[in-house]
Amino acid sequence: MRPETVRPIRFAVRAGAALLLALAAAGCRQDMHDAPRYKPLAASDFFADGASARPLPAHAVARGQLREDKLFHTGYTPAGDIVGTIPMPVTRELLQRGRERYGIFCAPCHGATGDGRGMVVQRGYKQPSSYHVDRLRQVPVGYFFDIMTNGFGVMPSYAAQVPPEDRWAIAAYLRALQLSQYFDAASLSAEERAQLDAPAHAPGAPPAGH
């Protein structure tokens, strides 16, 4: 193709592209960006009740909040009894998670060992009961989940801060704390008892006899 023929074609293509861009720019408007909208709780003359905020439909459930397993989310059986066992496998990972969450949300009041002498208590906050009293060692484990969910006395609900899975993890760790203070050594095997009775040695030092 001759150069004198190519040049007009290139010019026509460029002119057409420029025209398209100009038309697109002219059609670019802010209607969606500046769409009419109501401010929260603003009045409205469109609805009969005069309110712009509309009530939720009856029985509406937010995504992820169906909570079909009532026992898991309340700590109570369908018959209304407090759950006596953790409704999930009690693994090392679960106890570690419970220990971590307990240290964040519970230890400031209840203390690292559950004795009720946390730092905020030492600074004047009302002291909670120790977890090691007979009453709390004998309650079903679901009792702790219920208290974390609904609060008790001066303790507020922690349902907004701690999801159900973590509340059960904390409840499992509370049982471990209680066991650490009232474990029956007679239930140990001879080998386990020997390890328990073995004298402690300094960290990093070899065991006695080595």
Domains of the chain: 89-196 (1.10.760.10)
The model's pLDDT over 5-61, given as tens digits with 9 standing for 90+, comes to 556 666 666 777 777 776 666 556 666 667 778 888 899 998 999 999 988 899 888
pTM, whole model, 2 decimals?
Answer: 0.66
Q: Is 107 exposed, middle or buried (0-12, 13-18, 19+ CB in 10 A)?
A: middle
Lowest mean pLDDT among 37-41, 115-119, 185-189, 205-209: 205-209
Distance CA 136, CA 167 (A): 17
The model's pLDDT over 120-167, given as tens digits with 9 standing for 90+, comes to 999 999 999 999 999 999 999 999 999 999 999 989 999 999 999 999
